[in-house]
Amino acid sequence: MLDVIVCGSLHLDIVVKAPALPRADETAVGHAWQEVCGGKGGNQAVQAARAGARAAMVGRIGRDNFGRTLLDNLGASGVDASGIGVDGVLGSGMSVAILQDDGEYGAVIVSGANTAIDPAGLADVWGRLGGARVVVLQNEVPHAVNVAMAALARAAGAAVVLNAAPARDLRDDLLPLVDVLVVNRVEASALGGAPVDDRATARTVLPRLRRDVGAVIITLGGEGLVIADKDGTVTEIAAVPVRVTSTHGAGDCFVGVLAAQLADGIALDAACRFANARAAAFVSRDA
């Protein structure tokens, strides 16, 4: 049995460094660019493996150079990629991200083959991988994929972590299968029905977010995070002070490390504190 299976998205990110995001009709001038292997699923699987977990990735790529690059990156990071299918029609997922000089960023994704993951084939993949203690899901793949994978995990006694990003309706067929829901302030605002800017406002949306799920974590960047455990106990964790180089991928670092900790039997509060520290090191590029 594996420690962590991540089922989700794989994108090859083209990251452009520029002073600021362009306004409408503006052509902004950047000063550097690079290819970065990403997709929330791929990022989280890599971070789980780097945190010591025996991790596997389940997803789909195109039959193209982007796909080969993504597979090579997973293999080099110690992630089992045998659960990744290859699409003969759709290209691999990709994104274009603009990284501002202050470390903030914006991105546009093209999902491609990520939209063609077959929910009906996941049981076979689960069996071949041998299952896992923790399954991680995100919202960059179809809802039906998340439901099918969560059902397999629940039936096998695995914990399900849903990183509900990007935000979309949390449907009743998925919620009861989720043990830990992870959202940032933008997703918490959209799903909770009220603005979330800090730990105080995060507390106000916890009751709505906790409906039918085991526990909720709201990550707030420099404001730290707020946790409501399965019993409803609320804990606030302050951010670790660091000099921020880039926030790109910080949330995925947190989720991947959290999954590795939970798979190792670490309690939610302690797992969050450790993942919070690792994410702080990541944004300062000391990781």
The residues assigned a catalytic role are 252
Q: DSSP for 216-269?
A: EEEE-GGG-EEEE-TT--EEEEPPPP---S--TTHHHHHHHHHHHHHHTT--HH
Of 248, 258, 259, give the one whose Cα is nearest residue 282.
248
CA 172, distance to chain mean position in Å, is 21
**Cα–Cα dist 93/88, whole Å:** 13
Give the torsion through C-alpha atoms of 192, 206, 181, 103, to 10 deg: 70
* 119 beta partners: none
**Cα–Cα dist 256/4, whole Å:** 9
Residue 14 structure tokens:
């083209």
CA 246, distance to chain mean position in Å, is 17
* Helix ranges restricted to H, 53-184: 65-76, 122-129, 143-156
Residue 63 structure tokens:
């039959």
Strand 215-219 relative to strand 180-184: parallel, antiparallel, unpaired? parallel
DSSP state of 27: -
